[in-house]
Chain A
Amino acid sequence: MDNVSLALMCVAALLATAVLGVLVRRSAAASGLVYSLCLILSLAILAVAASQLLGGAGATEITRLPIGLPWVGANFRLDPLSSFFLVVIDLGAAAASLYALGYGRHEDAPERILPFYPAFLAGMNLVLLAADAFSFLVAWEFMSLTSWALVMAHHRDPENRRAGYIYLVMASFGTLALLLAFGLLAGPAGGYGFADMRVAVHAAWLPGLVLILALLGAGSKAGLVPLHVWLPLAHPAAPSHVSALMSGVMTKVAIYGFVRIVFDLLGAPVWWWSILVLGLGAVTVVLGVLQAVLQRDLKRLLAYSTVENIGIIFIGLGLALAFQANGMTGAAALSFTAALLHIFNHSLFKGLLFFGAGAVLNGTGERDIEKLGGLIRTMPQTAFLVLGGCLAISALPPLNGFVSEWLIFQAILVSPDLPQWGLKLVIPAVGALLALGAALSAACYVRAFGIGFLGRPRSPAASSAHEADRLSLAAMFMLLGLCVLAGILPGFLIDAVAPAVREAVGHAMPAQASLPWLSIVPVAESRSSYNGLLIFAFIVIATLLTVKSIHRLASRAMRRGPAWDCGYPEPSPLTQYTADSFAQPLRRVFGEFFLAREKVTMPKPEDPLPARLEVRLRDLAWDMIYFPIERTVALAGEKFNALQFLTIRRYLGLVFAALVSLLLVVAIWA
C-alpha cells in the first residue's frame, strides 16, 4: 500500500474516533480513550510522512477517490512539501494528545471537546493531503468549523462567544478569498486539480491577483496583520491543548496553503510580490510583538507572539520570492529553508509554552500574570520547562529559535546582490524591523517568565498552585528535548527539509551533515557559520567550571543576617515589580501604535481613596479597518431594510429596472 493511502486511512480512523467521541462522551474513560487513539494515529501519520520525506523518493503519489466534484473527484497526494508540513502538524498533534491525556482529565465539559478534537486533527491532515482545489477547500472549511466548535467549548463566557463569532466571520472571509484564488487559477475550463493548475497558462494580470487573494485567505488564518484580530481572542478561548494546536499547528496549515499556491501553482514569481509579502511580514512582526509585550493574559500574550512568529515566517517566504524572481537559487533555497525551519521550531516551542500556560491555568486557575508570581517554587518542573520554551522563542543560542532566525538574517545579508533598488532598500529595513521584533520578543518573555514565575505569589491562587500531572509534563519535556536537539543539531534538520525546499524553489541548500563538527554554513565558510553543538558544549563546560570554581574558591565561612528587602520593609507582594510596570517604558515609546492612554487619578490629600492608574490600549486594526466596515454594513443594512416593505408595483419596477440596466450593460460593453 502506498503512503497516501496509509495516511488517508489514518485520517479516516481519526474521523471514526470523532464519532466514537460522540458515542462515549459521557463515560469516565472517554477522554483517555479518545486522546490515546489520537496520539497513536498522529504518530502513525507522522511516521508515514517522515518516511516519505526522509526516504528521498520525492515520489508523488496520487490517490483519487470517487467523491467530490464529478469531473475532478477527490485527489490526494503526498509530496515532500506536504510531507514536511504533515510532520510538523502531527508532531504537534501527538504532543497535544499526550498532554491532553493528563490535562483533559480536568476538563469540566469533555463532551464539548472529545468529538471535535479528532475531527480537527483529521481536517488539518486532509488539507495537507488534498491535491485539488475542491478537496482542499472542503478540508479547509472542515478544519475551520471544527476548530470553531473547540473555541466555543466554554461557550458560557460571553467573551468566548464573541471570539467564536469573530473567528467564524474571519474564517469565512479567508475561505472566500481562497475560493476566488483557486477559481482564477482553474480558469474558465475548470481545471480544479493542482496538476492542471501547474501547467495552465495564465494572463499577465492573474498571478498578482492570485497572490493578493492567497495573502488574504491564508493570511487571515495564519494571523497576518491586519487580519490577525480573531487570533488573540479565539486561541486563548479554547482549552489549552487546543490553543497549542491552533497557535502552533493550524497557523502552519494556513502557511502551507500560501506556499502551495504561491510557490507551487502560480509559476515563476515577479519581484514586486516579495515587497508585498516582506512588508506585511515586517509589520506583523513588530505589531504582534508590541501587543504581546503589553498583554496581561498569559494565553493572549502567547497568541500575539504567534502573530509575531507568523510575520517572521512570512519574511522568510518573501525573501525566497525575491531571490527566486531574480534567479538567485542558492539564496532562495536558504530563505525558504529558514522559513521551513522556523515553522518547525515555532510549532515546538509555541506548543510547549501553551502547555505551560495550561499547566499554570490548571494549577492556579489564573491566566492573568499580575495575579501569578512565585510559581517556580510551587511548580518547579513547569517553571523549568516554560523557561526553556521562553529561551527558545526568544532566539537564544543554542536553542532552535536562534537557528532559524539566524538563517533568515543570513539571507537578508545576501540581499545587496539583488538587482532591484526597491528590494535593496526594503530588505534591510525589514531586517531592522525583524531585529527589533527579536529584541522585543525577548523582553516579552522575560516579562512573562519573570512576573509569572519569579518573585512572590501575588494572589492566594498563585501561592497554592500545584504541579502539573506526569503526562502533561512528559509532553512538555518531549517538546523541550526536541527544541534543544533541533538547536544543537540544525544541520540534520536542514538536510531533512531539503527535498521540500527543492520542490518549492527548485534548489536546495548544500548538504550540511557532512560538514566537520556539525557546523552549518548557509552561504560560504568565509562569510558565516554556526555550530550549535559547540555553543552548547561551551555553555555546559563554562557553567560547570564556574560552579566548580565557586565551590572550590569561595569561603566556607557563614554569616546569618536579615535579607536585604530592596528598600521595601513592608513584605506585601503588592510592592513587587508588576507586569504593567515592566511594560511601561515600551508602552511609552511605542504607545502611539495602540493609542495608549494613561489616566492617573490622585485623590486629594485628606481623601482615603486609593490612587488609580488606568491604561487603555486599542488595536489600530480594529479602529482603522474593522469598525468602519462594521459601521458601513450596519448603515447599509438599515438603508436596505426599507426594501422589505415596498409595494408590488415597486418590486416589479425594481425587477424591470434591473433587467433593463443589465441589458444596457450588455449593449454598451459586449
Chain B
Amino acid sequence: MDRFVLDFAHTLAGFMVLVSFMLLYQDRMFSLLNVFALQALVLAASVAWQAHVQDAPHLYVTALIALVLKAIIIPIVLHRVVVRLGIHRNIETVGGIGLTMLFGMGLVALSMVVMLRATAAADPLAREDLAFALSVVLLGLLMMVTRRNAVSQIIGFMSLENGLILAATGAKGMPLVVEISVAFSVLVALIVIGVFLFRIRERFDSVDVHALDESRGERQ
C-alpha cells in the first residue's frame, strides 16, 4: 500500500488521540465543547480518508453524520444547555492534571501493546487505527471517571463513542445501517441526558454529581 495513504491515516488517528488528551485538561465548559467539536471534525476527516482509501462510498455517509451531528449539532446544543444552566463561567476543578495526563499516557501505551500484538496478522491500515481507537476509548472512559460535572461526563461518553466509530471504520467499516443506528442512539442519549440534566439541576441546584451522592446519604 502507498506509504502516504498509511501515514496520513495514522496522522489523523493520532491527532484524535492528541485531542483526547486536550479534552482531559480543559477546565472551562466552552473550551471543553470546542475541543470536543474539534475531535469530531478530526473524526469526520479520518473517516472520509478511510472512505477514499478503501473506496467505500458508504463511509462518506458516516463521515457526514459525524460532521453534522457531532461537530455541529451536539456542541451547539450542549453550548446552549451550559448557558441555560448558567455554568459557563464555572471553573471545574480537575484534580491532578499531571497525574491524569501520565495515567492517560500509560493507557495509550497499554492499548498500543495489546492491539499491536493481538492484530499481528491484520491489515496494517486497520492495525494501528485500532490501537489509536482503543486509546481514544480508554481516554474517554478516563475522562468520565475523573470529572465530576455531568456535562463533562457526557463529553467523555461522546468522545468514547468517537473512538468506537474510528475503530469500526478502520476495520473495513461496519454496515451503514449499524452506523446510522449508532448515530441516532447517540442523539437519543443526548436528548435523554439533556432532559436529565435539567431535572437534576431543578432538584439539586447543581449538576455536580457529588450532589446526587449526598442526597442518597452517602459519604464521599
Contacts and interface: CB of A to CB of B under 8 A. Distances in A.
Interface of A: 645, 647-649, 652-653, 655-656, 659-660, 663-664, 666-667, 670
A667 B145 contact: no
Contact of A667 (B113, B141, B142, B148): B113
A664 B111 CA distance: 9
B201 interface: no
Nearest to B156: A652
Contacts of B111: 663
A110 to B, nearest CB: 53
User: Which residue, A648, A649, A653, A655, has most C-beta atoms of chain B within 10 A?
Assistant: A649
A649 to B, nearest CB: 6
B80 to A, nearest CB: 25
B144 interface: yes
9 closest A-B pairs by beta carbon, nearest first, are A647-B213, A667-B113, A653-B145, A667-B114, A652-B145, A656-B141, A656-B145, A666-B114, A663-B114
B83 to A, nearest CB: 25
Contact of B110 (A648, A649, A656, A664): A664
Given A659-B141, A666-B118, 11 more contacts: A645-B218, A647-B212, A647-B218, A647-B220, A652-B144, A655-B141, A656-B142, A659-B138, A664-B110, A670-B117, A670-B118
Contacts of B113: 667
Contacts of A645: 216, 218
A536 B144 CA distance: 86
A591 B220 CA distance: 55
A649 B142 CA distance: 11
B174 interface: no
A438 B107 CA distance: 67
A224 B64 CA distance: 68
Interface string B93-131: 000000000000001001101100110000000000000
A44 to B, nearest CB: 57
19 contacts: A647-B213, A647-B220, A648-B209, A648-B213, A649-B145, A649-B148, A652-B144, A652-B145, A655-B141, A656-B141, A656-B144, A659-B138, A660-B110, A660-B138, A663-B110, A667-B110, A670-B114, A670-B117, A670-B118
A660 B107 contact: yes
Interface string B177-216: 0000000000000000000000000000000010011001
A665 to B, nearest CB: 10
A652 B114 contact: no
B17 to A, nearest CB: 16
A642 to B, nearest CB: 11
Contacts of B107: 660
Nearest to A645: B218
A663 B135 CA distance: 12
A670 B111 CA distance: 13
A655 B117 CA distance: 23
A659 B135 CA distance: 12
Nearest to B147: A649
Contact of A649 (B118, B138, B209): B209
B114 A648 contact: no
Contacts of A647: 209, 212-213, 218, 220
A447 to B, nearest CB: 63
Contacts of B213: 647-648
Contacts of A667: 110, 113-114, 117
B88 to A, nearest CB: 23
B94 to A, nearest CB: 13
A660 B213 CA distance: 25
A653 B103 CA distance: 14
A380 B145 CA distance: 80
Nearest to B142: A656
A652 B218 contact: no
B138 A648 contact: no
Contacts of A655: 141
User: Which residue, B111, B113, B145, B209, has most C-beta atoms of chain A within 10 A?
Assistant: B145
Contacts of A663: 110-111, 114
A102 to B, nearest CB: 64
Contacts of B138: 659-660
B184 to A, nearest CB: 24
A670 B212 CA distance: 41
A410 B85 CA distance: 90
B145 A648 contact: no
A648 B110 CA distance: 25
Contacts of B141: 652, 655-656, 659
Nearest to A662: B114
B20 to A, nearest CB: 15
A655 B141 CA distance: 9
User: Which residue, A652, A653, A666, has most C-beta atoms of chain B within 10 A?
Assistant: A652
Nearest to A657: B145
A648 B117 contact: no
Interface in B132-179: 138, 141-142, 144-145, 148
A60 B117 CA distance: 49
A649 B113 CA distance: 27
Contacts of B148: 649
Nearest to B117: A670
B152 to A, nearest CB: 11
Contacts of B212: 647-648
A649 B208 CA distance: 11
User: Which residue, B144, B212, B220, has most C-beta atoms of chain A within 10 A?
Assistant: B144
Interface in B29-80: none
Nearest to B107: A660
A663 B117 CA distance: 12
A486 to B, nearest CB: 64
Nearest to B209: A648
Contacts of B145: 649, 652-653, 656
A652 B146 CA distance: 10
A659 B220 CA distance: 24
Contacts of A656: 141-142, 144-145
